[in-house]
A and B are shown apart, each in its own frame.
Chain A
C-alpha cells in the first residue's frame, strides 16, 4: 500500500476535524437527562445491596452470625467471609500482572479501617437491606491501630497485613511485616558531591492530606444474568476490561461468562479505576437475580478510594548562577489499609517531577506504608500532585535566595525538546522506566504567556502591602506524562456502512472527559469524512476491542493512536475500492469530505460502501487495530495565581488563576480547556478547603459535602486557560495528554502566592484559614 500516504497526517493547518471545538457527541442527550447512566435502566425484580462496614480501625472478627438477617422477610442473600472464596487480589484496576500487592480478599476475618467491608446483604428494598445489616451479629477483637504514616514502620507498630499469603506479584520490595507496601529508590550521578559543590541548598518537607475525588455520581453497579445465564456487570467504571478480569479472579467465575458494560458515568477522576464490583457480582451469582449496589455519599468518601497523603522532602543544591547541582526527594505516602496503587503513585512522585529540571546528581528514596485509615488509590495527578508541591516551593525559595525571578530560574533549568532525563529510564511504574527524549516542549511560551496574562512583572514588583488584606502572586511549572510506556495498550475497530458512515468501536472509556468525541474526531480526520459520519460505541467487553481504560493520561494519546492507525487501514481499503471504481491506480486517488476523487472523476463514500457490500468483489470495509506506547511524552504547564490573604483571619481568596498548557495539538480545544478548568478547580479545592478529618479512633468526621467543602460556582476565581499548541511527533495528530497535569498546580502556586502576599510559607496542606492564621501568629 502507499506507505507515505498511510503515515502522513498532513499539516496541522489542513486538518478538517481535528483541532475544532466540535460539540461533544453525547452532550445534548446528557443535558436533556436522557443519556443513560448505570441506574437509568429499569430491571424487574431488582435486589438492593447494602454493605456492613467496620466500626473499628483494626480488629479481628471472632464470630459473625448472619442467621437473623437471613431470616428477615425480604432478604435474598447475606454474605460474610465464611460464605465466599478467599482470593487475595488487588482492587487497583491495573494491567496484569499488577504492580499493587495482592492483599485484599472479597471479605475477610479481619478489618483494617473504619469503613472496611464486613458483610453484604441484598434484599427486596433498600430499607429491608438496611434493617438486615443491623441483625448481623459480629464479635470483634479490637487490635491496636496505627494512623500516622511516620509511625507505621516503627518497631512494635501493629502489623496490618499479618496474613501469610499477602504478596507482591511482580519482583518489587514488599515488607508487610513492617507495614511497607512499596519501596523504591534511584540514584543518578553523585549526590553527595553535588551537594558539597553547591553554594546554596534549599530544603523543605511538605505534608499533604487525605482528599476524595467526589465524582457527583457515587460508585454504582448493577449485576444481572442475561438470557443465557452469563453475568452482566453494568457499572460506573474507568476500566471495564480490568473489571472483567479482576471480578473473574475474585469470584472464581469464568472470564468468558462475564460481560462488563460501562454506560455514561458521572465522573471518576481515578476513584472509579478501583474494582469494587466483585461483591455485587457474587450476590447476583448466588441469587440469580439482578442486584444493585449504590454507594451513599458518606460511603463514597470513606469506603471507596482517596488520595494518598504524603510527606515529601525535597533538597536541592544550586551554584550561584542558579545551575542545579543536586536534587534529592524523599517521599513517603500513606496507602491506608490496602496497597492499591501504593507503588506506582509513590514512583510517580519522582517520575512526574524530577525530570522537569536539568540536574546531574539526582536521588529519590520513597516508600508507601499501610495505616488503619481509608484506602488510597488512583487520583488525577497520581503522586505528581503531592510531589510538585514539594519541588515547586523549593524552586520558589531557591529563586528568592539566588536573587532571581521565579520564572527566570525555571526558564534556566527546565528540560527542553530534544533532551532526555536519566529519570525517565530509572523510574517506571513498578519496573524500570523507558528512555525517552522530549519531542515537544513549549514551556517557555507557557511561562511567557501565563506571566503576561496574570500581570506578573508589575504584581511581583509591587511592595508588600501592610494592611489587613494583602495580595500576592505565585507560580509553578509542571509536567505529567501521556500513558504508561511499554505497558498500556489500546485498540479500536472500524467498519463502513452503506451511507458512508462508520461504526467506531473502542475499548477506551469516556468518563465524561469527552474521549468518545475526541476519538471520533481522530477517526473522521484520518478517514477524510465529517464527525457526524462516525458512530461511536465504547467500553463493552463483549463488543469492543480491549483497552486498558481511562487512566495515566492515556486515552487521547494512546487510544487515539489506535484509532488513527485503524482508520488509516480502513482508508487504504477505501482507496482500493475507489481506484477500481474510477479506473485509476490507488495512489492517484485523494480522499476528502466523504468523497474519493481522481482524474476529474469522483465517487462518494456511500457509493464505495455500496460497491463493496453489494456489487463487486464484496467484502466488509473495516479493520481492527491496536497501539502500545513506547514513550510517555509529558505535557507541560505554567500556572499562576493572585491571592488575597486576610491577615486577621488567615482566609485566602484566589482572585485570579492562569493555566498556560502545552498539551500538543488540542484535538478539541474546548474540551481540552474543560479538562484544565475542572482540574484547576479540583486542585484549588484540595489546596484550600478539602480535607478528610479523622478522630483518634480513625473514624472520618466529615464524610459529607456539608463538611468537606468542594468548590462551588461562587468559588470560581477569574480563571483563564491558555492553550499553547505544539506538535508531539509521537502522538496522533500531534496530541499529548491534558487531563491530569493541571490538578498539580494549585498546591505550589497558592503556597508561593501566599508567601509573596503574607510572608509565611505554607508547607502543610490544605491552606485553611486556621492553618494560615497559625502560621501568621507563629511568624509574628
Chain B
C-alpha cells in the first residue's frame, strides 16, 4: 500500500507492506541513521521523532504513520554541519561504536526543546529506554549537559545580536 507522510520536512510517499514497521520503511527509503537493535522497543537505537516525540520506530506500523511528521537523525545535521548535540557527543567521547548514538541525539533534541537546562537526573531519566553497551553512559550524560549549556549560550547570544 502507499502511504503519505512527512519525513524530515519533506512530503514523501512510501510503498509499504501490511505489517511493515516504520523502522523497516525508513531504512528501506534510505534513512539508515535509524538503527535496528532489538525490534522490541527495548534498546532505543531505532528512535525517531514522531510529531516531535521520541518513539521506537520498531514498534510502529508504517501504515499507522500516514499523515504524521517523522524526524530522523539525517534532518538534524551532517558531519560537515553537525548539530550542537552531535558535536557535544563527539567531543565528550560519548560516541564509541556509535550505534546507539543517533537515537540518543534525537531524544536529547526533544528533551532540550522541553527543558533547556535539565539536571543530570533528568538527563538520565530522558535517556531511559536507550541502551549503550560501549560507553557506560558517563560521557554521554556529560555530552548532553554540555549540549544544553551550548544551546543556552547560543540562545543568549542570539538574543543579544537580535536586540
Contact = CB atoms under 8 A, between A and B. Distances in A.
B82 to A, nearest CB: 5
Contacts of A26: 95, 98
A269 B38 contact: no
Contacts of A681: 136-137
Contacts of B95: 24, 26-27, 30-31
Q: Which of B98, B105, B129, B135 has the most CB of A within 10 A?
A: B98
Interface stretch (A59-67, A101-109, A510-518, A600-608): A510-518
Interface stretch (A227-235, A632-640, A706-714): A706-714
A673 B93 contact: yes
B98 A264 contact: yes
A486 interface: no
A677 B139 contact: yes
A23 B34 CA distance: 23
B134 A705 contact: no
Nearest to A294: B36
Nearest to B32: A40
B123 to A, nearest CB: 8
B98 A31 contact: yes
B35 interface: yes
A511 B134 CA distance: 10
B33 interface: yes
B45 A297 contact: no
A179 to B, nearest CB: 32
Interface residues of B, number: 59
Interface in B121-163: 123-125, 127-141
A34 B138 CA distance: 24
Interface string B76-100: 1111001101110111111111111
A37 B35 CA distance: 10
Given A32-B78, A678-B136, A704-B42, A267 B93 contact: no
B97 A297 contact: no
B72 A24 contact: no
A215 B42 CA distance: 13
B37 A682 contact: no
A671 B130 CA distance: 21
A37 B131 CA distance: 18
B93 A713 contact: no
B73 interface: yes
B4 to A, nearest CB: 23
B136 A719 contact: yes
Nearest to B143: A31
Contacts of B85: 31
B33 A34 contact: yes
B38 A705 contact: yes
Nearest to A680: B136
A215 B97 contact: yes
Given A34-B78, A217-B35, A705 B42 contact: yes
A716 interface: yes
Contacts, number: 191
A330 B143 CA distance: 45
Interface in A10-44: 21, 23-24, 26-37, 39-40, 42
B54 interface: no
A674 interface: yes
B90 A716 contact: no
A670 interface: yes
A269 B136 CA distance: 14
A35 B86 CA distance: 13
Interface in A315-351: none
B99 A266 contact: yes
A75 B127 CA distance: 41
A454 interface: no
A26 B95 CA distance: 9
Interface residues of A, number: 57
A33 B133 CA distance: 18
A296 interface: yes
Given A673-B139, A682-B133, A713-B137, A704 B101 contact: no
Nearest to A681: B136
A296 B58 CA distance: 13
Contact of B96 (A294, A513, A704, A721): A513
A297 B39 contact: yes
B28 to A, nearest CB: 9
Contacts of A673: 93, 138-139
B124 A215 contact: no
A213 B133 CA distance: 8
Contact of A31 (B86, B130, B136): B86
A354 to B, nearest CB: 28
A265 interface: yes
A31 B101 contact: yes
A777 B157 CA distance: 61
Contacts of A682: 133, 136
Interface in A655-707: 670-671, 673-674, 677-682, 704-706
Q: Which of A33, A218, A267 has the most CB of B within 10 A?
A: A33
A264 B101 CA distance: 13
A275 B16 CA distance: 35
Interface string A703-743: 01110001111101001010000000000000000000000
27 contacts: A24-B90, A26-B95, A26-B98, A28-B79, A31-B98, A32-B76, A32-B78, A33-B32, A37-B35, A42-B30, A214-B133, A215-B133, A264-B98, A294-B36, A297-B42, A512-B98, A513-B96, A514-B93, A674-B93, A677-B135, A678-B133, A704-B42, A705-B42, A705-B43, A710-B133, A713-B130, A719-B138
**8 closest residue pairs by CB, A with B:** A33-B33, A512-B97, A30-B98, A266-B99, A677-B136, A27-B90, A681-B136, A33-B73
Given A28-B87, A511-B97, A670-B139, 14 more contacts: A23-B91, A24-B95, A31-B89, A31-B95, A216-B35, A216-B133, A267-B96, A512-B98, A705-B40, A706-B40, A711-B137, A712-B130, A713-B140, A719-B138
Interface of B: 27, 30, 32-40, 42-43, 45, 72-74, 76-79, 82-83, 85-87, 89-102, 105, 123-125, 127-141
Interface of A: 21, 23-24, 26-37, 39-40, 42, 213-218, 264-267, 269, 294, 296-297, 511-514, 670-671, 673-674, 677-682, 704-706, 710-714, 716, 719, 721
